[in-house]
A = this chain, B = another copy of it.
Amino acid sequence: MMRYPEHADPVITLTAGPVNAYPEVLRGLGRTVLYDYDPAFQLLYEKVVDKAQKAMRLSNKPVILHGEPVLGLEAAAASLISPDDVVLNLASGVYGKGFGYWAKRYSPHLLEIEVPYNEAIDPQAVADMLKAHPEITVVSVCHHDTPSGTINPIDAIGALVSAHGAYLIVDAVSSFGGMKTHPEDCKADIYVTGPNKCLGAPPGLTMMGVSERAWAKMKANPLAPRASMLSIVDWENAWSRDKPFPFTPSVSEINGLDVALDLYLNEGPEAVWARHALTAKAMRAGVTAMGLSVWAASDSIASPTTTAVRTPDGVDEKALRQAARARYGVVFSSGRGETLGKLTRIGHMGPTAQPIYAIAALTALGGAMNAAGRKLAIGKGIEAALAVIDADA
């Protein structure tokens, strides 16, 4: 008997995003929709950009683009990379690898460092590559390669890239807001994130940090999109209450982001990061104690915002997730591309980055394994997770 039918909402969504938004954000989405040229809206927009600047710890204004962060990533490639650029793409997972395809669309000169998708990029390899290829002008890296639940050392990489003089594009979509990472910490020239992961808002916007030299390069690039949905340069001054928008912004998403940024800043970034980290740590302890293994090659590169659990041999990963949803009402994410079928992902993002949800996740995961014929030490898993939580308490 299926308890939770597919057509009805599950009880708890513990995915790698979208996750449910904070209740305050959900209500914020329902604010009056103002005319985008109304001075009250233009002021709100400027304030939201100011809050984003504060959250991102930027010394200049971030850009908001009106599509989920894949828009930001595509726009970054289209705007910053020109045909004579030599791009070094760092690939430790499906998303990092994927950026290379976009990069190649705008420049034929693509170099790549690729590591197994449960490992992280070694800064030394980057240093070596930069040394070997002084012609590299752009480096791209994914901070948290979500389909693997692994973290790349972008601050160290950024320091090398900066010393080299190349531009750095960082995909921090699913890490920003859930751990300590900011555009200027890693000296990023374009840093792409969004409200729909650790900030606990719905998908629909990109938040982007752009360095002054990236602005200069894009504006000088005749091929950078303009009068286009893909344009970044069109939005350079749109933050200002006195400047028009290139096209109608997503008013309700801005309303939601406004609330999400307030929540983040008011709770305190350090406190937010701490509960992401603790939830993930408890999760990993439970996974291991239960008899499963974490996908990430080492604890030090395991993401605080998503735990990827390796699928035991012989288990049908899709059936596993279906069982977790059907029996317990708990939804997990699958892998993507190369990692599809090989792992199950449990997100710890925004409102779900609470240790008690690691308990729910472990139980649902363990129960689904049971249903698949893998008897696990679920009780031990829970106790190990609880020990982590209590050690912090």
Contacts and interface: CB of A to CB of B under 8 A. Distances in A.
Most-contacted residue by chain B among A7, A227, A252 (CB, 10 A): A252
Contacts of A389: 327-328, 367
Interface stretch (A130-138, A151-159, A293-301, A377-385): A377-385
Interface in A364-393: 364, 366-367, 370-371, 377-383, 386, 389-390, 392-393
Contact of A359 (B6, B204, B360): B360
Contacts of A101: 227
> Considering residues A35, A327, A364, which has the most beta carbons from chain B within 10 angstroms of its beta carbon?
A35
A203 B363 contact: no
Nearest to A14: B35
Oligomer copy total: 4
Contacts of A377: 379
A58 interface: no
A18 to B, nearest CB: 5
Interface string A32-51: 11111111100100000000
A7 B39 contact: yes
B67 A38 contact: no
Nearest to A2: B393
A247 B355 CA distance: 29
A68 B250 contact: yes
Nearest to A380: B379
Interface stretch (A121-129, A180-188, A306-314, A329-337): A329-337
Contact of A13 (B38, B39, B70): B38
Nearest to A330: B356
A7 B367 contact: no
A252 B334 contact: no
A360 B379 CA distance: 13
A291 interface: no
A328 B354 CA distance: 8
B379 A356 contact: no
A43 B6 contact: yes
Given A33-B21, A328-B355, A356-B360, A203 B250 contact: yes
A71 to B, nearest CB: 5
Contacts of A379: 377-383
A366 B34 CA distance: 23
A13 B34 contact: yes
Contacts of A8: 40
Contacts of A251: 18, 202-204
13 contacts: A1-B392, A3-B275, A3-B392, A3-B393, A6-B40, A19-B33, A29-B252, A37-B334, A66-B68, A102-B227, A228-B230, A253-B253, A378-B382
